[in-house]
């Protein structure tokens, strides 16, 4: 028996078994006095949690909660059958060329409408139909036809039928005995080949209407109900895209709940199926040619994201030498060293990169942010010219010419003019200028047209 040394009475202890006091339907635990406050706090927090969540018990549900809008809504059967083209590369048996399905970006937002201001839907429709978002064909110099910016035009499922946004809002507010729709689905679809996909009307104006209508028809089949929706095509960015507003109501007047998984990947899968059917499978050669055309783009490109992922985060350097570039991009990627080097040379020409030695480059901090600011400035300049052209103002546009500075140094200078347009890029620039003036503490008046 091991020797534990000399033990005194102070080292002795005894275990006392005590019966648990129980009451009808509940159990009472003996808690030390110094822990009772903490225990009561935990119990109060649990009670508050039950009151907020509406759940009467704290038991674990039989089906795990995904956090999505509705895990058991419409569209689950279509997901089980399979949605979307097969991802990955397909290799031609004879030539060995690689092809993949067309891709798209889809963003869906479920907006609650009950107990909300009645202007929620009207404000969003006004934003979608803002000036400069659409495009129309107009007569240019010497009778030549050219595309010019115009207001966004609403359209719906039926071709040739004029859509009134006020009627759409009225239907949303008068449903359910005057309580209005419980929610609506706001969908933004942006195909990677939107410029190529845009069909041409009889007057020569591009549009994405046929693709949008085909997508919504397929969604109606998947969800088992007709949808009440309107859409607007936008051409004010580098990638043409479409905004869709669908009411959260079925054809028989009930609330429309869509399964969360269908919202997250089902809509995108249906759109990619439609794009691949319309344009065919996309070849690796076509993808590389697109990347080469983006080498000198003054915006964030796919090559920039590859560079950001492949560079050393501590030194902001990237090694593109022939023997060291293998880890920069996967072996099955469409990106290659030639494209990345071409992009790095362009970044060097605008002061965002420095060549350390042959094949090794140093990238400046916040390069992606700087490229985004350059793109915003170019869009602002473009919007200024378009607005002045519509207002028949013939004089050059000078951005940040020193008459008024964002840092407040010349914020006391007053400029008098008139507002000729309200566009997104202009409003963002105006907001930045206003914040700088407020921060400097001096008074100034700035106008968007000078």
- Which fold would CATH assign to domain 294-365? Arc Repressor Mutant, subunit A (1.10.10)
pLDDT digits (tens, 9 = 90+) for 313-361: 889 998 888 766 555 555 556 677 888 889 999 999 999 999 998 888 9
Q: Are 363 and 316 in contact (CB under 8 A)?
A: yes
Beta carbons within 10 angstroms of residue 96's beta carbon:
7
Beta carbons within 10 angstroms of residue 79's beta carbon:
16
In angstroms, the CA 297 to CA 347 distance is 10
Paired residues of 188 in beta bridges: 107, 243
In angstroms, the CA 264 to CA 64 distance is 17
Average pLDDT over residues 128-132: 83
The two three-digit tokens of residue 346, written as one number: 């362009």
Q: Burial-class residue 58 by CB neighbours within 10 Å (0-12, 13-18, 19+).
A: exposed
209: three-class secondary structure by DSSP: helix
In angstroms, the CA 372 to CA 301 distance is 10
* Structural class in CATH, domain 76-282: alpha beta
pLDDT digits (tens, 9 = 90+) for 160-187: 888 888 899 999 888 888 888 999 999 9
Radius of gyration of the chain (CA): 31
Percent of the residues in the chain that have a pLDDT greater than 70, as a whole number: 68
Average pLDDT over residues 265-272: 94
183: closest CA among 90, 99, 121?
121
Residues 369, 370, 375, 378: what is their CA dihedral angle, to the nearest 10 degrees? 150
In angstroms, the CA 346 to CA 348 distance is 5
End-to-end CA distance of the chain: 99
- Of 12-16, 168-172, 265-269, 388-392, least confident by mean pLDDT is 12-16
For 214, how many CA atoms within 13 A lie in the half-sphere containing its CB? 13
Sign of the torsion formed by the C-alpha atoms of 108, 112, 117 and 118 = positive
Query: What is the residue extent of each domain of the chain?
Result: 76-282, 294-365, 369-440
Average pLDDT over residues 381-395: 79
């Amino acid at each position: 028996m091991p020797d534990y040394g000399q033990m005194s009475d102070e080292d002795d202890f005894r275990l006392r078994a005590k019966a648990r006091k129980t009451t009808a339907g509940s159990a009472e635990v003996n808690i030390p006095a110094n822990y009772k406050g903490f225990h009561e706090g935990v119990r109060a927090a649990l009670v508050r949690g039950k009151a907020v969540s509406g759940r009467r018990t704290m038991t674990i549900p039989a089906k795990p909660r995904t956090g999505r809008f509705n895990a058991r809504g419409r569209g689950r059967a279509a997901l089980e059958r399979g949605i979307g083209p097969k991802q990955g590369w397909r290799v031609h048996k004879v030539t060995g060329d690689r092809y993949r399905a067309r891709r798209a970006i889809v963003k869906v937002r479920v907006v609650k409408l009950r107990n909300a201001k009645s202007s929620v839907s009207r404000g969003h429709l006004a934003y979608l139909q803002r000036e400069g978002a659409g495009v129309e064909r107009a007569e240019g110099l010497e009778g030549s036809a050219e595309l010019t910016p115009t207001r966004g035009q609403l359209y719906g499922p039926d071709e040739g039928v004029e859509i009134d946004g006020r009627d759409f809002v009225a239907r949303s507010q008068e449903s359910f005995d005057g309580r209005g729709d419980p929610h609506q689905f706001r969908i933004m679809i942006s195909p990677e080949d939107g410029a190529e996909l845009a069909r041409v009307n009889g007057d020569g104006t591009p549009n994405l209407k046929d693709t949008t209508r085909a997508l919504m028809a397929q969604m109606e089949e998947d969800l088992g109900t007709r949808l009440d929706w309107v859409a607007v095509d936008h051409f004010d960015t580098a990638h043409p895209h479409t905004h869709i507003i669908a009411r959260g109501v079925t054809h028989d007047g009930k609330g429309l709940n869509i399964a969360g998984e269908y919202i997250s990947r089902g809509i995108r899968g249906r759109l990619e199926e439609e794009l691949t059917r319309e344009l065919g499978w996309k070849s690796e050669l076509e993808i590389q040619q697109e990347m080469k055309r983006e080498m000198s783009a003054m915006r964030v490109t796919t090559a920039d994201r590859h560079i950001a992922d492949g560079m050393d985060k501590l030194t902001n350097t990237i090694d593109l030498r022939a023997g060291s570039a293998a880890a920069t991009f996967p072996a099955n990627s469409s990106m290659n060293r030639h494209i990345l080097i071409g992009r790095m040379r362009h970044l060097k020409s605008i002061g965002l990169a420095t060549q350390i030695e042959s094949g090794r480059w140093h990238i400046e901090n916040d390069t992606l942010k700087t490229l985004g600011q350059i793109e915003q400035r170019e869009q602002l300049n473009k919007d200024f010219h378009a607005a002045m052209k519509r207002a028949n103002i013939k004089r050059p546009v000078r951005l940040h010419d020193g008459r008024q500075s964002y840092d407040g140094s010349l914020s006391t200078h007053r400029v008098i003019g008139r507002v000729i347009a309200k566009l997104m890029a202009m409003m963002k620039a105006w907001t930045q200028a206003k914040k700088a003036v407020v921060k400097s503490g001096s008074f100034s008046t700035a106008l968007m047209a000078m």
